[in-house]
Amino acid sequence: MPVTTTTAGEAAYARAAAAGKINLIVGRTVTLSPDEARAMRPPAGERVVMLRQAHNTVLLNAPLALKAGADGALPNRFSGTAYSGGFVPDFEVVIDLATTKFNEKLPLLDNHYRSDIIGVIEQAAARDHRMVVGGRLFSDMPGSPAERIAQLAQRGVPFEMSVGLYSYTREAVPAGKSVSVNGQVFHGPLNVLRNGQVREVSIVTLGADPRTAVAVFAR
């Protein structure tokens, strides 16, 4: 299910959810018609990296370790590397952090669903050619996805983090050519994503960037 980026798309999503065509509790089961799915797509002129394995999307995910707090308290803090600055093999891309924009504070979402805010990124910065983040997981909200993620993590379920990059430009590097990005030299074929904006970070179950890590812990 792609992240919607237009008012019409948000309205179409709301209608589908109200009609029971999107299961928001168990596995995000989607039963949309082709027309409904098309209505939720972003406009053709807006290019989006939506962190979900589908056509024209890129996954940039980080392993996420959730640890129980004292006396069994649910984890509610996290910090770590959201993007390593390296090559993402699943999609053959590198993100140019020197031209990527992001606010210091960002929403933390569940699986990139805008209606499921599960925390907040309180610090986001580019350091040593990596994107590092830290913030709070709202695991103290009874019945929320954040609480369920924390509970599952305490039972050993692995989770990861995923970063959403929007409105990027793409530079294709063909085979036999090389490019310097994020303090490293990369050899084609690959694509360099430049001038994008990170607008959200999500907790997900699948990842693509193997060189990142995030730790979540109780205060």
pLDDT at 206 (0 to 100): 67
- Across the strands, what pairs with 126? 131
Asked if 56 and 23 sit in the same domain, the reply is no
Asked if 156 and 192 sit in the same domain, the reply is yes
Q: What average pLDDT does the chain have?
A: 74
Asked if 17 and 92 sit in the same domain, the reply is no
Asked if 40 and 66 sit in the same domain, the reply is no
Asked if 110 and 17 sit in the same domain, the reply is no
pLDDT at 144 (0 to 100): 94
Asked if 25 and 91 sit in the same domain, the reply is no
Cα separation, 150 vs 79, whole angstroms? 15
Find the domain containing 192 and state its range.
Answer: 47-217
Count of the separate structural domains present in the chain: 2
Residue 58 has pLDDT above 60, yes or no: no
pLDDT at 123 (0 to 100): 92
pLDDT tens string 171-218: 999 999 999 999 999 999 999 999 999 998 888 776 556 555 555 566
Q: Is 53 helix (H, G, I), strand (E, B) or coil?
A: coil
> Confidence class of residue 158 from pLDDT cuts 50, 70 and 90?
confident
Domain end (from 11, 27, 44): 44
Asked if 177 and 72 sit in the same domain, the reply is yes
Q: CB burial class (10 A; 0-12, 13-18, 19+) of residue 138?
A: middle
Asked if 16 and 76 sit in the same domain, the reply is no
Q: Outline where DSSP puts E strands in the chain.
A: 48-49, 61-66, 77-83, 93-95, 101-102, 106-110, 113-127, 130-137, 159-166, 169-173, 178-181, 184-187, 190-194, 197-204, 214-217
pLDDT at 141 (0 to 100): 93
Asked if 37 and 131 sit in the same domain, the reply is no
Asked if 106 and 189 sit in the same domain, the reply is yes
Asked if 207 and 111 sit in the same domain, the reply is yes
Domain end (from 44, 61, 78): 44
Asked if 98 and 153 sit in the same domain, the reply is yes
Which has more pLDDT, 44 or 68? 68
Name the residue among 81, 78, 88, 155 with its Cα closest to residue 122: 78
Residue 111 has pLDDT above 60, yes or no: yes
pLDDT tens string 29-41: 445 555 655 555 5
Q: CB burial class (10 A; 0-12, 13-18, 19+) of residue 198?
A: buried
